[in-house]
Structure 1
Amino acid sequence: MKVIHITSSIDESAGGPSRSVTQTCEEVSKLGVDITIITKRSKKALKVNTSSRLKLSYQSFVSLLFTGIHFSKKNVDIIHLQHVWSPYIHLMASVAQKNEVPYVISIRGMLEPWIMQRNPLKKKLGLLLYQRNDLKRASVLHATCEMEMNTLRKLGFTNPIAVIPNGINLSLVPSPKESFERKRIIFLSRIHKKKGIELLLDAWKLVDTADWELLIAGEGKQSYEQELKERITQHKLVNVQFVGSKYYAEKWDFIRSGDVFVLPSYSENFGIVVAEALAMGVPVITTKDTPWQELETHQCGWWIELNTQNLSNALTVAMSQSPEQLKAMGLRGRKLIQENYDIRAVAKHMVELYNWIEGKQEQPEFISLE
């Protein structure tokens, strides 16, 4: 089977989707699927472990147009599109439709209410002109959680929907955190309004931080980061520091350095960094705008309605835990990831999805037809 994956970026700055797309493709290729990832060039592209079954092709919009003309059922079984809204992705949806190649669209959280409320007129126009048609004609829509599937149904899409979470390559996760004596809260994600950093700073102001510190890691627009730093100064916040971007080994070392991880996001269809923190054995605070109810059911963190007071309360409770309690929570979180989010299981589901589209197997239980 040959599958073409189209994604507009695998740059480090693109966040979780870049990692999940490339790592999932690597694992799927190990199961015997021939995959080509097609994407645009970028300054800090993630490393992809190519092989005889996994190829990487950097193409501009124009070169993709000429490449796509030759895609047909004779040489491609499935086209898998990552993200929506991008002209790069729309181009290949049009090619798939014209050449009658079945295609999958991974939504990647781009139709969630918070996202749709940003530039709403532009989004409505995009849906009207091309995006709704591209989605309606997809063989399958891929959601990473039930929350995202429900959003798609509310928007009126009746396609089959495959609910397959992102996975963690546990072989890349270093030894988990052992000591919880540092009294450090950490944030690691893009520096973006969606991530709720303003609320985090406001909540920090309400907390008796004592000798705890808050470290904020990530990259984004310099102007926005400067706004946040000015907020720290204006509110006379103490023990708060921006520490820049963290990738690869530095990322894991940073996560391990934290006693509690916080992601107060307004919208996440998954939140791969939550899974990474749990895999490292660090308890997590995140919001009910993310699909992480398991933090409560597995007693490995706090899952809250997002507002300043709730976030302040969660931080206060987290900082009141003993090192032994935090370690026990971290161990439960690590077990959760090992049992439910191993990337090898995710890759197996993806192959089952492709086989079902090709009529080679019965409908998997993770595909909803209603």
Structure 2
Amino acid sequence: MKNKVLILTGYYYPSIKAGGPVRSIINLVENLSNEFDFYIITSDRDLGDCKPYSNIEVDKWISVNHAKVYYTDPTKLKMSKLLSILKEKDYNVIYLNSFFSFKLSILPLFFVRMQLLKPKKIILAPRGQFSNGALGLKSIKKNAFIRLARFFRLHKNVIWHSTNILEKENIIKNYNSKIDTVIANNLTRNYKELNFEKQLTKTKGSLKIVYISRIHPMKNLLQALNVLMNSNDNITFNIFGPIEDSSYWDECLTVIKVLPKNITVNYNGIINNDEVNKVLKSNHVFFLLTLGENFGHAISEALLGGCPVIISDQTPWRNLNSENVGWDLSLENNEEISEKIDFFVQLSQLEYNKMSELAFLYGQKESNQEKDIVSYKRLFSNENCYE
């Protein structure tokens, strides 16, 4: 009999605004549904939306892409209702996908501490929330809760899921060194049979750059725009993603208005997941100076779209220059970032084609590896259970 795994997450399919965590869970279900029965409790609407998704039944379990999903209005999800849903089935594993979510992380842990729930295993994936960049935003409130959680031992017997060694170190540094932490890299779609098919004109002196991410301080679009301020080359900067923070976007617009005429910026709104690869194939370089990522699905997708990348050194994607697929750079050095943009501007068609194919092959090589699948099988098994 398969283990029953209950996933609590703020957003799930068909969300297109909530970014990488949604993709992580979709990929998890797609890759492991033969091994485990997945149940998902999530919001009935997308990030920032006031209305629920159309054509989705709410407040009942429905089948969605190899999982049973319970969509509900988060504003009406009271403590008694959540406890009732959680107790409907005897789950082997409860998998939480946020450290700070009150309803979908803190309350379930409270139920367990009060012995109202007795799963064999509880796993918490903080999804990059302990990175220095993430904790630097609303730091007073976040640090206060971390201290309270430690004091009340809210996370006693919880297994922490880190997607890489850096995230593990951040959790230990910012929360507690005496925790049980398991590393399992985020899974991707299966790209092993994908072929390189990018055909994009590249002339010296011009460049098409693409950004695909949420418009939020964490993603650091403002610095990317400021870096372009000093460029003398003909650059088109295509921006895709939901405006999650309107005041931050206003700051970005202020910079966009004073950019030199050789820089063209296009904001293209929200992009559906099935359109991402097409967009990447029509741009030369992916640009994301994020303050922190526990994985970076957009980076993985960019490489598979044949886009070499210029990213910050705050992601697991490191030492990219040694693979000749781009750079992971310090956010403290705008001049170096500008130099790498100029490098791409000056590439010829032949030089770009070679680098583009290398990016694709590297992205394909780094997609689902057997060791990652095995790590998740162990994570969701009955091993390391507590009484």
TM-score normalized by the length of structure 2: 0.83
Q: Is the 8 A contact 2:191 2:364 kept in 1?
A: no
Structure 1, unmatched stretches of 5+, are 360-370
Q: Is the 8 A contact 1:105 1:138 kept in 2?
A: no
Q: For 2:41, which of 29, 38, 41 is the aligned residue?
A: 38
Output the amino acid matched with 2:126.
I
Output the amino acid matched with 1:262.
F
Q: Is the 8 A contact 1:165 1:341 kept in 2?
A: no
Q: Is the 8 A contact 2:7 2:95 kept in 1?
A: yes
Q: Is the 8 A contact 2:149 2:155 kept in 1?
A: no
TM-score normalized by the length of structure 1: 0.86
Matched, 1:118 2:137: yes
Q: For 1:64, which of 56, 59, 82 is the aligned residue?
A: 82
SS in 1 for 2:291: coil
Report 1:260-339 matches (<5 A): 260-306=285-331, 307-339=333-365
Q: Is the 8 A contact 1:140 1:159 kept in 2?
A: yes
C-alpha deviation, 1:141, in angstroms: 0.8
In 2 relative to 1, CA 257–230 (structure 1 residues): closer, same or farther, beyond 3 Å? same
- 1:9-33 residue CA offsets vs partner (Å, 9 max, x unmatched): 2232111111111221232112x21
C-alpha deviation, 1:69, in angstroms: 4.3
- 1:214-269 residue CA offsets vs partner (Å, 9 max, x unmatched): 11111113443233122211344531221111112322211111111111111112
In 2 relative to 1, CA 224–343 (structure 1 residues): closer, same or farther, beyond 3 Å? farther
CA distance in structure 1 between the partners assigned to 2:282 and 2:152 by the alignment: 46
Name the structure 1 match of 2:49: none
C-alpha deviation, 1:135, in angstroms: 6.7
Q: Is the 8 A contact 1:180 1:326 kept in 2?
A: no
Q: Bigger shift: 319-328 or 84-93?
A: 319-328
Q: For 2:239, which of 203, 207, 216 is the aligned residue?
A: 216
CA distance in structure 2 between the partners assigned to 1:340 and 1:138 by the alignment: 32
Matched, 1:95 2:111: yes
Output the amino acid matched with 1:41.
D
CA distance in structure 1 between the partners assigned to 2:110 and 2:354 by the alignment: 51
Q: For 2:221, which of 197, 201, 207 is the aligned residue?
A: 197
Structure (1 or 2) with the greater helix fraction:
1
In 2 relative to 1, CA 45–162 (structure 1 residues): closer, same or farther, beyond 3 Å? farther
- 1:285-320 residue CA offsets vs partner (Å, 9 max, x unmatched): 101111211423322111111132222112111222
CA distance in structure 2 between the partners assigned to 1:66 and 1:197 by the alignment: 42
In 2 relative to 1, CA 236–336 (structure 1 residues): closer, same or farther, beyond 3 Å? closer
Name the structure 2 match of 1:367: none
Q: Bigger shift: 223-232 or 278-287?
A: 223-232
Q: For 1:166, which of 168, 186, 192 is the aligned residue?
A: 186
Aligned length: 353
C-alpha deviation, 1:204, in angstroms: 0.8
Name the structure 2 match of 1:22: 26
CA distance in structure 2 between the partners assigned to 1:176 and 1:79 by the alignment: 39
Percent identity for Structure 1 against Structure 2: 22
CA distance in structure 2 between the partners assigned to 1:297 and 1:95 by the alignment: 49
CA distance in structure 1 between the partners assigned to 2:307 and 2:372 by the alignment: 22
Name the structure 2 match of 1:365: none
Structure 2, unmatched stretches of 5+, are 47-51, 57-61
Q: Is the 8 A contact 2:190 2:367 kept in 1?
A: no
SS in 1 for 2:146: helix
RMSD: 2.7
SS in 1 for 2:96: strand
C-alpha deviation, 1:352, in angstroms: 1.9
SS in 2 for 1:206: coil
